[in-house]
């Protein structure tokens, strides 16, 4: 049995202003998502790279995932197309920052 929750660290700036590098996400493992939700998915051509993106719409080829960053330089479905529903690992439940320890 797989644990139903994942903990994921945000490493890049593609989801700013919503998420920032250093944020941590609690993700519920599910493939039942809706447009507008922030999801975690495997990159279609780099299967060891997890992406954090916003689900925009479900298309015949899969989910269209986009970054929130307005700079347009982020890698998302505008670069690689729709993502297979099987690649979706879950949806973000909450964001938090780890406590800094001195």
Residue 101 confidence (pLDDT): 53
Cβ within 8 Å of residue 82, ≥6 positions away: 59, 60, 61, 62, 63, 64
Q: Which tens digit of pLDDT belongs to each residue from 10-64?
A: 999 999 999 999 999 999 999 899 999 999 999 999 989 999 999 999 999 999 9
Give the domains, in start order, of the chain with CATH numbers: 5-94 (2.10.109.10)
């Amino acid at each position: 049995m797989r644990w139903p929750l994942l903990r994921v660290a945000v490493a890049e700036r593609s989801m700013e202003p919503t998420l920032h590098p250093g944020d941590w996400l609690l993700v519920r493992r599910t493939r039942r998502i809706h447009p507008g939700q922030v999801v975690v998915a495997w990159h279609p051509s780099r299967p060891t790279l997890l992406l954090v993106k916003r689900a925009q719409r479900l298309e015949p080829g899969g989910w269209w995932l986009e970054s929130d960053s307005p700079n347009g330089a982020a890698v998302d479905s505008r670069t690689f197309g729709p993502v297979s529903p099987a690649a979706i690992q879950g949806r973000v439940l909450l964001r938090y920052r780890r406590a800094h320890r001195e």
